[in-house]
Structure 1
Amino acid sequence: MEQQGQPRISFQVDVVDANRFQEPRRTSRRRSSIRSILEPTKAIDKGWSWVVVAASFVLTFMLVGVFSSFGVIYVPLVILYSGQNQSSDSCSANATLSSVSGQTAWIGNTATLFIFSLGPFAAALSKRWGVRPVVFTGSILFSTGVILTGLTNEIWQAFLTYGVLAGVGGSMIYSPGVGIIPTYFHKRKTLAICISQVGGSIGVLVISSVMGAIESKYDWRRACYFAGGISCLMILASLFYRPRYIPETAQQSKAPSVKEIIIGAWKTQRHPRFALWVWLIGLHFFSLYVVLFHIYRHSECVLGISKQKSSFLLTYASAVSIVVAVVAGYVGDHLQYRLPLLQFLIFIGGIGNVFFPLYQTYADLIGFMILFGINYGYLAMMSIFPSDFVGVDEAVNAFSILSFTSSIFGTFGGPAAGWIFDATGSYNAAFVLAGVISICVSLLMSLDLWLIRVEKRRNAESKEAETKALQAEKLTRSVAQYESTV
């Protein structure tokens, strides 16, 4: 019972007051967290640097996974554009089907060409306006292009949606999104880039399998809707590209124009070591695309292996490349000179291609794809070398030039193998040629050691010349002082 004269205690008022005073705190914390994402970060090898790696992982997961799965919708597109029944045999020698097959293949080639060849332009945009808005815009274009591809009925429409729109969007994602990572790291730079690139291999495993299942159960259009819809996650991931903090003393008084940035990107090739390496890597991309574009068709149409088994071949290579990428990233951070590790990975893939005519069973092809996966794992390391050659400040520019050069050679790898098949009736010569090129690329990379010696000799000579000039200037001053005193 309540006693008279004593005030009644109300807990409701206290709760309301507490909530009233706690709400601004929550709001201020929320604003603080949003502000922390927008503001530049000073973290190196820790903190937000790894958040950027996670965002890059998601981007490569989606981008590489979707584009590498073009083979899933390739055959249905060929049959659609040729006007034949969906039950038609894709391995038939029908002249119309063969003609449309080549044209349809250029849809994927066009997308690849845009993704890599527009690298310098994408790097210029990111350097001018920042990586986050460029990758954000590219993610929207990419997702939209893939979704619209599912609505196409003519081959020219697919060229515009998948080849041009998605390709341009992909270029705005790849070069800035990957090339910027070295600026966030010093000690763990190789591991960070390898982790981000592993996303592509995992994307191939997951997205190609899911798209294949959707295409088999429903149709290729729903596979495109799925790929475009899940690619929208890249829009969210792009928001976590928190810019690097640049001291005021290091900031330029006037921001360079896009034209000046593109010219600066091309000037990165003035570094002899980088120029040698980037053109050799571009040449090796020719070999990669021979395998990526034609291993399915060789397995299904030449060896007579079922479509289901053939579709899993790239899965084995992707699984191996994931392991190779992580191990190479860890080992690379403990090496002062990383290029021999890259040479080894490329050489292994070349050996696998050279013996391609001996592979006659599905088990043989699995062994070949394991060797190809070791070779394919070098892609995770590829992004680290531009910053080694030209410095961290020019890493994005250098990576964009690497992407451009790779696109030129890679775009013609698939068609060249197709021409060889039309002429010989076999893919053996094309795959052997790809293996010889890979081996030559691996061996020619040893010229980097000679360039290092030349660079050291030139630096020594320039220092010696500077020392002699200083000594001569000092002697002249001493003589002048002596004559003035006399």
Structure 2
Amino acid sequence: MTSTVPSSRLLSPRPGRRPPRVHPAWWAAAVAFVALVGAAGFRAAPGVLIDPLHEEFGWSRGSISAAVSVNLVLYGLTAPFATALMERYGVRRVVCGALVLISAGSGLTVFMNSQWQLLLCWGVLVGLGSGSMAMAFAGTIATRWFEARRGLVTGILTAGSAAGNLVFLPLVALLAEGPGWRAAAVAVALSALAVVPVVIWRLRDRPEDLGVLPYGAGPAYETPAPPPPGAARRTLAVLRDASRGGAFWLLAGTFAICGASTNGLIGTHFVPGAHDHGMPVPVAASLLAVIGIFDLAGTVASGWLTDRYDARRLLAVYYGLRGLSLLLLPSLLAESVHPPMLLFVIFYGLDWVATVPPTLALCREHFGADGGVVFGWVLASHQLGAAAVAYGAGAIRDATGSYDLAWSSAGVLCVAAAVLVMVIRRAPALPGRMTAAA
């Protein structure tokens, strides 16, 4: 359903004012990127802080990982509702609220002295805040502001979270090793809070708010009508309709494996796993930051490729190579950094969230106008997979004294995902309509 606002009215500049040299869509993308960087600080914290919390409070790694799991579950379950809330109440309001929750959840940990407080801060507050942003936020900005270059923009914005790891991981590790984990938690809280004024100042909900068309929109473009009341009801209705087709379950299942092998396993347990082999924590954290560096390039490249090639084949390559690299990881961990480990880090960085642009493209292809909300539900499965492995890998470490079984199991799952994505059928070209192709 669309409104009748003609594109010519949006294209007409005010008298005496020149058209902007840079389309406002790129400014919206830039502010969204900064917001994603600021919100990503917490994602750098758990892997670095597991050992300090274990040493100070005596909590098991499994119980600390449980707080990360709660965070990831709420992250995933919040995402589809956040997408609908952004449509109903505006991107700026939702994003500012999310940043405040992340800041509060990280900052309040300095006062905790029991595990339920860790679950509340790390799990509930940060989970709800981070779930309202990240990949669902990136998809909303790309869909609203861009008709052309959507895949590329999705890749750039998705890389914002990786850039957050790049910025914060070494800092969080050094603070945890020096002043202590509380200083690291405060730094993460301040970083999220500092982005709020930038969002209020520069981010607008839609290009129509500035009197322009989305980037790449032609003369036939018509402004979408406001969504009907009942954001939560619509979100659940979209899930009901999408779940009737096999494409949804294949996308959700493979993206759950993606989350398990990234946020759940490597993002949470790579640093303590490398430390088990004698590698200093700051060195291991720096390797994880290098993954963030190469993720920037890999995700942007994946967005560019998604605009040109079959998204299913791209996903099959990404998952297959990721699985093989995880199967090799137990033999690569050592006290010091060596060339094979660097090769693993570079590859895993290029592949980290390269899966997002083609997965989002398939959601749009199969579910049309509901693709953004469907992607929110697919993202929920991503975080459920991450939550299961974040806890499971910690429990494996407590039970066996090693992460080897966790690495190899995730590798097998990724190889299975490479096969499953090719089962998804290509959807017919029915813009704005949901299909049940699978």
TM-score category (smaller protein) = 0.7 to 0.9
1: CA distance, partners of 2:188 / 2:132: 18
Give the superposition deviation at 1:153: 2.6
Name the CA shift for 1:308/1:283 in 2 (closer, same or farther; >3 Å): closer
Q: How does 1:43-442 map to 2 (within 5 A)?
A: 47-82=23-58, 100-174=60-134, 176-180=136-140, 181-239=142-200, 240-245=203-208, 251=225, 255-266=228-239, 267-288=241-262, 289-301=264-276, 303-335=277-309, 337-361=310-334, 362-363=337-338, 364-381=340-357, 382-391=359-368, 393-442=369-418
Does the 8 A contact of 1:322 with 1:377 survive in 2? Answer: no
TM-score, with length taken from structure 1: 0.74
Does the 8 A contact of 1:78 with 1:100 survive in 2? Answer: yes
1: CA distance, partners of 2:279 / 2:292: 20
Does the 8 A contact of 1:190 with 1:330 survive in 2? Answer: yes
Q: Which has the higher contact order (CA 8 A, sep 6+)?
A: 2
2: CA distance, partners of 1:175 / 1:345: 18
Q: Which runs of 4+ in 1 moved over 4 A?
A: 246-250
Name the CA shift for 1:396/1:154 in 2 (closer, same or farther; >3 Å): same
Partner letter of residue 141 of structure 1? Answer: L
Partner letter of residue 242 of structure 1? Answer: D
Does the 8 A contact of 2:105 with 2:122 survive in 1? Answer: yes
Name the CA shift for 1:433/1:183 in 2 (closer, same or farther; >3 Å): same
Which is greater in Rg? 1
Deviates more, 1:206-215 or 1:268-277: 268-277
Does the 8 A contact of 1:53 with 1:193 survive in 2? Answer: no
Per-residue deviation, residues 103-160 of structure 1 (Å, max 9, x unmatched): 1222222222211122222223223222221112112222122112223232222222
1: CA distance, partners of 2:118 / 2:39: 18
2: CA distance, partners of 1:173 / 1:318: 18
Does the 8 A contact of 1:120 with 1:404 survive in 2? Answer: yes
Give the superposition deviation at 1:202: 1.5
Name the CA shift for 1:354/1:245 in 2 (closer, same or farther; >3 Å): same
Specify the alignment match of 1:462 in structure 2.
none
Per-residue deviation, residues 189-239 of structure 1 (Å, max 9, x unmatched): 011111111111111011111122222331221211111111113323433
Partner letter of residue 207 of structure 1? Answer: F
| CA RMSD after TM alignment | 2.7
Does the 8 A contact of 1:111 with 1:164 survive in 2? Answer: yes
Per-residue deviation, residues 297-331 of structure 1 (Å, max 9, x unmatched): 22211x22233322222122222212212222223
1: CA distance, partners of 2:35 / 2:223: 33
The number of aligned residues is: 391
Name the CA shift for 1:438/1:250 in 2 (closer, same or farther; >3 Å): closer
Deviates more, 1:243-252 or 1:190-199: 243-252
Does the 8 A contact of 2:135 with 2:158 survive in 1? Answer: no
1: CA distance, partners of 2:372 / 2:306: 20
Give the superposition deviation at 1:175: 5.5
Does the 8 A contact of 1:138 with 1:170 survive in 2? Answer: yes
Does the 8 A contact of 1:179 with 1:395 survive in 2? Answer: no
Partner letter of residue 238 of structure 2? Answer: A
Name the CA shift for 1:332/1:103 in 2 (closer, same or farther; >3 Å): same
1: CA distance, partners of 2:400 / 2:107: 38
Name the CA shift for 1:359/1:217 in 2 (closer, same or farther; >3 Å): closer
Specify the alignment match of 2:217 in structure 1.
none
Structure 2 regions of 5+ residues with no counterpart?
1-12, 14-18, 210-220, 430-438
**What SS does the corresponding residue of 1:452 show, helix, strand or coil?**
coil
Does the 8 A contact of 2:36 with 2:160 survive in 1? Answer: yes
Does the 8 A contact of 1:271 with 1:389 survive in 2? Answer: no
Partner letter of residue 346 of structure 1? Answer: Y
Partner letter of residue 98 of structure 2? Answer: G
TM-score, with length taken from structure 2: 0.81
Give the superposition deviation at 1:250: 5.2
Specify the alignment match of 2:426 in structure 1.
452
Does the 8 A contact of 1:65 with 1:202 survive in 2? Answer: no
Does the 8 A contact of 2:44 with 2:165 survive in 1? Answer: yes
1: CA distance, partners of 2:245 / 2:27: 32
1: CA distance, partners of 2:186 / 2:64: 19
Give the superposition deviation at 1:271: 4.4
Give the superposition deviation at 1:360: 4.9
Does the 8 A contact of 1:316 with 1:366 survive in 2? Answer: no
1: CA distance, partners of 2:247 / 2:133: 27
Does the 8 A contact of 1:117 with 1:404 survive in 2? Answer: yes
Does the 8 A contact of 2:103 with 2:193 survive in 1? Answer: yes
Deviates more, 1:60-69 or 1:268-277: 268-277
Partner letter of residue 172 of structure 1? Answer: S
Partner letter of residue 146 of structure 2? Answer: F
Identity across aligned pairs (percent)? 22
Does the 8 A contact of 2:176 with 2:184 survive in 1? Answer: yes
